[in-house]
Chains A and B, each alone.
Chain A
């Protein structure tokens, strides 16, 4: 990470080429809303996710234009989503930090940061899940009782992602962006505990896995400002 940061700050100085940016402005600070369709259908005993759910993630990112057709950026995201289950619900929270390299294809003849782009992202992140689940047990009299039992687990992941999108600048300093992204997880570490076999733990573990272990396909809508 340290090397990456060094590269990030030294790179502009190493560049000999003329970097026009957008009207001389190179730095963008933006807020993005990541819209993730919940693709995985989890079915564990009687506990399963409802079909077609959408999760949201808040994203703050920066981008610095380094060349006529590429830029480098950092981003941080935080998400808190409720996953609706047949027998309850789960709250999934997560954060991630990434480093982005964005290319504006020369064949389009646009100059960074305007126009279509192709993005490569490496990230590290962690996620927490907690929730309520109806657990079918019996009281002392033998009557069935539904217990609400909050549980949580933690997971750390590292991965990379690719994206394709378009930047549009309005009023000369507001940046609107829309993109389609695909993230891949390369390594994941469960920092807390291995599932003990309870329904809920297994469920949250599966949710986390589905979010980070396999892939994340999401749309990104963003608004930002050209700062300097």
Chain B
């Protein structure tokens, strides 16, 4: 499953990876950072209050150098004696690779000097204890991804996914994987792949007269050849170590079933049930689908796992493995690192909106550690996320059906899919409120509970819907009978892949069909969700919170009704006009400007984004921001991944949190959502002494001339012949290029989670410094101006 990859491949991978792999960070005590900073480490995690992986200590040089510096360093490897085509290819490769690498390094998905990275680096030290020069070229970082994967760059950077370490059985397996990755580096597989792919695409040599399908196959074959080579050469290196090869081949078992999580435990129906809240048996599969190995590697970049295992085993025949060990760094170290990774996976799943996976992973870990508040919160957040997405008609964004899910987690996918939005909401409220009662001082739980209760009111405004009396004894038999009539045995041929039709929350709330169904359910005394709050309804606090939620809901409704009135619209228009004329006034005491970005785009080029120019312009933009914020008298702080110093690990962590926060916000759209990093975010607002964080940047876009422009230019040119004074302008108009520059500023109030101001100024000019200065100064003036 491990692989090397070309920049192109990675470019297509990493935006998804960013979307899919966001992490949450909690409560890092400063003493851990201090210990790590002085070169020691501790795996002494309190797994009840788990703290997600954070970087610490000295910021590695790779994180601090610009893409252009990396590129200039890389191209030194190119020999002057090489053919021109190879030189070109390598230069292109190094160019893209340098920018890809920096994108990833600055995405916040990688961590350094964390307990897991330290452990993996120790394993690498053990492997390369006799090859110091090679060891000095290798840098290993942990990638916050749940996939069973590792990557190697041509410059010696290896990423190990959290999901890989979470699934491994022992240290020997990790060592074998690292040996495999080392071969990718030493044999420069990624460059070789680029050169070969160029031959394939151009139809050179043996690839002459091959059709497109054959080219695809050839590219796949070459990649598989490299992987096999990495396996075998890696194995040779591995055999020189003192690791036990027989214990290492278990990794191929995991590769064969990468769809399974680190542990397979049946999901118990009664896990979320109480004595009164009992789910219908029809919400559970009687039998989950069979687990099938993915053996088809025809178009894959990797050979099938069973073939790789067989190849490795054949090389191990007759070898003497006496004295070899499964663990060299230490079994405890491995277990600690793995446990951290497993706990980390819950967070990553949550940030990827993979709530079902987060729920099941937390469920698995809770079996071992039932008292962990961290895991309980993960369960609560999963329920909250599922309920929010279902209520807001966006469930299809986070769910693609349960048929393709393999393993016991399929039960979880099926269960949540079967639950109706009001049921899921009531379940989430029940779980969250009980958690809130358990941890009343946890602000995150309180905020989420409050939000989900407000949402519940739209389904059940009258709390009398819920029964305060215990569940009747007859309910179980009614539910069982009902389930038997529906049938819930998974049958692939009968049941197509389930897709939820997206409905808005208004549809689900007020649509006549839905309303009727709801009414029918309400009248039905056997409706199981009526008994969700039997215990809670005896709690005066719950009654009080319920009433408060009703009041909030009514206020929101009346606000929404007022917004429809002519009077409101008139007043809004007046405000809008005033804002256009005078600008806004936010009265910010301080603003934190986060990771300013700059993209220069040329529509006419095959690679529209001018990476080098963008990077250089980004540096100028930082200066521009500083100058104008100072001139405007704005109290600000600029934190930027591109501007890290050796001692900026804390800033790096802050930016990672903020990156994930902004990605989450942009995905949510207009859905109100309490973010998962409430504690972290609160820590940031406290640290920077402001709630206002600004994501700002510039995009300069060079347009292609369209027909209308060309037509006008011609008319103008003809006119200028008859009236010669216009000639200079006609010439200027004929040859000038059309640019659009977008200056974007998006301020979030991290206290409320709402966007305070979104500005996109489109200027019909090239990104001239005076234009940028002018607009940024104006923006900062408005941000500083006291509110009226």
Show the binding face of A for B, using Cβ within 8 Å.
16-18, 20, 22-24, 37, 39, 68, 106-111, 114-115, 168-170, 172, 180, 217, 219
Contacts and interface: CB of A to CB of B under 8 A. Distances in A.
B620 to A, nearest CB: 13
Contacts of A106: 580
B49 interface: no
Given A18-B785, A20-B777, A22-B774, A108 B581 contact: no
19 contacts: A17-B581, A18-B582, A18-B781, A18-B782, A20-B777, A22-B774, A22-B777, A23-B774, A23-B777, A24-B631, A39-B725, A107-B764, A111-B778, A114-B770, A115-B763, A168-B768, A168-B770, A172-B770, A180-B729
B771 interface: yes
Contacts of B710: none
Contact of A219 (B580, B632, B728): B728
B765 interface: yes
Contacts of A111: 774-775, 778
B773 interface: yes
Contacts of A39: 725
Nearest to B581: A17
Contact of A114 (B631, B761, B762, B774): B774
A16 B771 contact: no
B60 interface: no
Nearest to A114: B774
User: Nearest 8 CB-CB pairs, A to B?
Assistant: A169-B770, A20-B778, A17-B582, A114-B774, A111-B774, A23-B777, A109-B763, A23-B631
Interface of B: 580-583, 627-628, 631-632, 724-725, 728-729, 761-765, 768-771, 773-775, 777-778, 781-782, 785
A22 B581 contact: no
B761 A109 contact: yes
Contacts of A109: 761-764, 775
Contacts of B628: 23
Contacts of B777: 20, 22-24
Contacts of B773: 22-23, 169, 172
A23 B775 CA distance: 9
Given A17-B583, A109-B761, 15 more contacts: A17-B582, A18-B582, A18-B782, A22-B770, A22-B777, A23-B628, A24-B777, A37-B725, A68-B581, A68-B778, A106-B580, A108-B763, A110-B763, A168-B770, A169-B774
Contact of A110 (B631, B728, B765, B785): B765
Nearest to A166: B765
Contacts of A107: 764
Contacts of B729: 180
A23 B625 CA distance: 12
Interface centre among B725, B763, B765, B770 (most CB of A within 10 A): B770
B24 to A, nearest CB: 38
A16 B785 CA distance: 13
A181 to B, nearest CB: 11
A37 B727 CA distance: 12
A23 B762 CA distance: 19
Contacts of B768: 168
A4 B17 CA distance: 64
Contact of B774 (A17, A37, A110, A180): A110
A164 to B, nearest CB: 9
A109 to B, nearest CB: 5
Contacts of A18: 582-583, 781-782, 785
Contacts of B769: 170
Contacts of A172: 627, 770, 773
Contacts of A110: 763, 765, 771, 774-775
A56 to B, nearest CB: 15
A20 B628 CA distance: 11
A170 B768 CA distance: 9
Contact of B764 (A23, A108, A170, A180): A108
Given A18-B785, A109-B762, A219-B728, A114 B583 contact: no
A12 B303 CA distance: 75
Nearest to B580: A106
Nearest to B632: A24
A106 B775 CA distance: 13
A109 B583 CA distance: 13
A39 B723 CA distance: 10
A219 B765 CA distance: 21
Contacts of B781: 18, 20
Contact of B582 (A16, A114, A115, A217): A16
Nearest to A37: B725
A215 to B, nearest CB: 11
A76 B296 CA distance: 83
Nearest to A170: B770
Contacts of A16: 582
A68 to B, nearest CB: 7
A36 to B, nearest CB: 10
A148 B366 CA distance: 112
A104 to B, nearest CB: 10
A39 B774 CA distance: 39
Contacts of B764: 107-109
Contacts of B631: 23-24
Contacts of B632: 24
Contacts of B580: 106
Contacts of A219: 728
Contacts of B728: 219
B771 A115 contact: yes
A39 B726 CA distance: 12
A109 B763 CA distance: 5
Nearest to B762: A109
Nearest to B740: A109
A168 B628 CA distance: 17
Interface centre among B724, B763, B774, B777 (most CB of A within 10 A): B774
Nearest to A112: B774
A203 to B, nearest CB: 23
